[in-house]
Amino acid sequence: MPFIITGTTMETITIHQRTFVPYLPAATIQQRIQEMGAEIRKDLEGKVPLLLSVLNGSFMFAADLMKTLDFPVEITFVKLASYQGTGTTGSVKQLIGLNEKIAGRSVLVVEDIIDTGITMEHLLKELEQYGPEEIRIATLLFKEEAFRGSFAIDYTGFVVPDKFLVGYGLDYDGLGRNYPDLYTVTT
């Protein structure tokens, strides 16, 4: 069951002259990833799933999630983009494609955040063409208020409000991914 966030006591940060306030501490993120890993282990143990990390935002989450899986797994990366600044552009541009064969395999798409679902809808349509046995989705953050997709999310870390977030892999025009905590922009 995903967590619903209320706030933390970390210090504010500034990126591109915008102030971001604390939202979710690293310890809470790591605790939830351990719990998600336990769910995934239960569902996928005995298979050799392919973790498909959506770059750039999910790289930290994918690495930490993969460490919780104590059975053989592979990982690969695709790069899709639909954000510019603090908002979605409404269109998806594939930048780096899939090189691994996924026919007949269990694929776990690892995403940092799902908001409208446009990016994921695009990716799922592309992946289906390759004939995987199954596709599951793990997202660290889910903006339920913004979601317009028609797909199910198998593993959700946190349900978050429709606010712009930065840190733990998420960026604001290229900066902020390095923070281990999550922050939200002030109004």
115 catalytically annotated: yes
Non-local CB neighbours of 77 within 8 Å, separated by 6+ positions: 52, 53, 54, 55, 59, 96
What is the rounded CA–CA span in Å between residue 146 and residue 97? 27
Q: What is the helix, strand, coil percentage profile of the chain, to 5? A: 20, 40, 40
The tokens for 6 are 């209320």
The tokens for 102 are 């996924």
User: Which residue's entry shows tokens 């063409």?
Assistant: 129
Catalytic residue selected from 64, 115, 171, 181: 115
Query: Catalytic residue positions?
Result: 115
